[in-house]
Structure 1
């Protein structure tokens, strides 16, 4: 079993000690950096003073991005499936004509 790594992540002027697998460190640090950047953007754009409001807006933004990607992937998967079905039908028709 891999050794755990103890790190500290700072978000919204609070430090969070975490114990993680070493391969998670880069992703966590990038995520924290993205959250900090979004906090800064919201504070500048909307003059929000309450960190809880800013964090809620960040959570909504990230959740929306995840949901949109899931929807986009679903539609892409459906489009690929339809194209594959059409291609399969063409191949079946061609093979049937070859057999006749």
Structure 2
């Protein structure tokens, strides 16, 4: 797989994660966390079947965990679509 797209809701999630992290932990930590999420996307590009089924979420949207966040994605044709990036404490079924 060679390309990925971050859907609008996931982009909003990233902005929220970054703003919260800057406020709570500082810019260097926030930057590092986003780099880690980018590494998660790269891992999904290399191994799209690595995700697991999340209880209560359709099997067409698997999930890969990164620290305390869950990256929900879909594979459509030859493209990885990042659907949402949600904190583990959020009501995930409600957001998808």
- Greater per-residue helix proportion: 1
Q: Please report the TM-score for the alignment, with normalisation by the length of structure 1.
A: 0.32
- Greater per-residue strand proportion: 2
Bigger RCO of structures 1 and 2 (CA < 8 A, at least 6 apart)? 2
Q: Please report the TM-score for the alignment, with normalisation by the length of structure 2.
A: 0.33
